[in-house]
């Protein structure tokens, strides 16, 4: 059984990974990938997360040497995004954020 301290530490680590991936668009590399191009653990998570819905797109994101995968999934007519670590653990899930152009 995991202690509260272990869970808290894991939450902080995942939060920091999320922040590091999202903090700077300039330092982040993104590329669209197919489901057969992701690690097996990520593929399993995507398949579980998209049950009852439709997988729209997968993006591989790398920043500061850390890689994660963003899966855009349509469920009940609403698009959501799930951020998944290379080991298959869900980092974050929620409504898909609209992309903003800095030139506006």
Find tokens 């300039």 and name the residue. Answer: 26
Domains and CATH numbers, the chain: 4-95 (3.10.450.360)
pLDDT at residue 100, rounded to an integer: 47
Q: What is the pTM of this model?
A: 0.66
Q: Residues of the chain whose pLDDT is less than 50?
A: 25, 100-104
> Cα dist. 35→2, 13, 39, 42 in Å?
32, 26, 9, 9
pLDDT at residue 14, rounded to an integer: 66
């Amino acid at each position: 059984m995991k202690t509260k301290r272990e869970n808290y530490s894991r939450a902080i680590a995942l939060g920091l990974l999320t922040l590091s991936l999202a903090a700077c668009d300039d330092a982040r590399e993104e590329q669209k990938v197919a489901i057969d191009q992701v690690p097996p653990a990520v593929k399993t998570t995507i398949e579980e997360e998209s049950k009852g819905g439709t997988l729209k797109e997968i993006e591989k994101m790398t920043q500061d040497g850390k890689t994660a995968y963003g899966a855009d999934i349509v469920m009940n007519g609403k698009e959501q995004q799930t951020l998944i670590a290379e080991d298959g653990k869900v980092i974050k899930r929620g409504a898909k954020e609209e992309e903003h152009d800095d030139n506006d």
